[in-house]
C-alpha cells in the first residue's frame, strides 16, 4: 500500500479535479481521502501568468 507520488497527485488533479482517493494498506484496510487533501496546493495554469 501507499499513497500516490507527488507527480501522480498532480496528474490526478489536472485530469479529475477533487475526487475520492482510496488507499489500501498491507493489512487490507482501506482509507478514503480526496485528491485535494493529498495535494492541498496544486500547480494550476493561472500560476503561469
3 state SS for the chain: CCCCCHHHHHHHHHHHCCCEEEEECCCCCEEEEEHHHHCCCCCCHHHHC
**Would you place residue 11 in the very low, low, confident or very high pLDDT band (cuts 50, 70, 90)?**
very high
Q: What is the pLDDT, as a whole number, of residue 49?
A: 79
Q: Is the pTM of this model over 0.75?
A: yes
pLDDT band at residue 2 under the 50/70/90 scheme: confident
Amino acid at each position: 500500500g501507499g499513497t500516490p507520488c507527488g507527480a501522480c497527485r498532480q496528474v490526478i488533479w489536472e485530469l479529475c479535479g477533487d475526487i475520492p482517493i482510496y488507499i489500501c494498506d498491507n493489512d487490507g484496510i482501506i482509507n478514503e481521502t480526496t485528491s485535494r487533501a493529498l495535494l492541498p496546493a496544486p500547480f494550476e495554469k493561472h500560476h503561469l501568468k
